[in-house]
Amino acid sequence: MHILNRIKYTDTEINKILKSMVILVDSREKAAQHLLDYWTKHGIEYQVMALPSGDYSFKLKAIPDLGINYDMHFYNDIILERKNSLEELSGCFAQTRERFNDEWSRCYAKRKYLLIENASYEDIINGKYNTQYSSKSFLGSLHSFNAKYDLQIMFMPNKDYSPIYILAVFQYYLRYLIK
């Protein structure tokens, strides 16, 4: 049982908790300016820091009047790994597979998401990416990693929706914990 679901919160308290969420962005994350710009524009707080695994997670800031007396980090509960293209992901499978495998094997989060931007599943099937990695190998690797690490895979053909997706994944996970 998670500490947050020990108490029954009112709708007002739930909203206050959700508003105290801060998205955590791994300090090694690259090509993420579109995400940061969106969150800044919409007043969504984020913090750049070194995460033990994944590119994104979240924390909950302390809310003493609700019994949350310290900041709570959720990077051991939920992480999201983002790849900005099929080319980047195929590089992880083909050129740096051992390192990519090690990253996932060291991940202790119970919920793991893989977000693939600027792509669809159909693009892999039809070889619509700019690498020598075969479609069959690509699909095999994707499904093997999915089975081995219990990933929730999301294709985001238009990367402009990625910041909304990431925010929703974390907000609804937090909401699940407190309801």
Given a cut of 90, is residue 179 above it in pLDDT?
no
On the CB side of 90, how many CA atoms lie within 13 Å of its CA? 19
Structure tokens at 135: 């479609």
Closest C-alpha to 142, from 156, 155, 130, 132? 155
Given a cut of 80, is residue 3 above it in pLDDT?
no
pLDDT of residue 169: 98
When pLDDT is averaged across residues 73-81 and rounded to a whole number, the result is: 97
φ/ψ of 112, rounded to 5, equals: -130, 130
pLDDT of residue 5: 59
Given a cut of 80, is residue 146 above it in pLDDT?
yes
Task: State the CB neighbour count (10 A cutoff) for residue 170.
Answer: 23
Kindly report, residue by residue over 7-53, the tens digit of the pLDDT: 788 999 999 999 999 999 999 998 899 999 999 999 999 999 999 99
Model pTM? 0.93
Given a cut of 50, is residue 56 above it in pLDDT?
yes
In contact, 44 and 23? CB cutoff 8 Å: yes
Give the pLDDT band (50/70/90) at residue 1.
very low
Given a cut of 70, is residue 65 above it in pLDDT?
yes
Beta-carbon contacts of residue 41 (< 8 Å; ≥ 6 apart): none
Instruction: Round the average pLDDT of the chain to a whole number and report it.
Output: 94
Kindly report, residue by residue over 95-142, the tens digit of the pLDDT: 999 999 999 999 999 999 999 999 999 999 999 999 999 999 999 999
Q: Alpha-carbon distance 13 to 16, whole Å?
A: 5
Q: Alpha-carbon distance 77 to 31, whole Å?
A: 25
In contact, 155 and 124? CB cutoff 8 Å: no
pLDDT of residue 6: 63
pLDDT of residue 7: 74
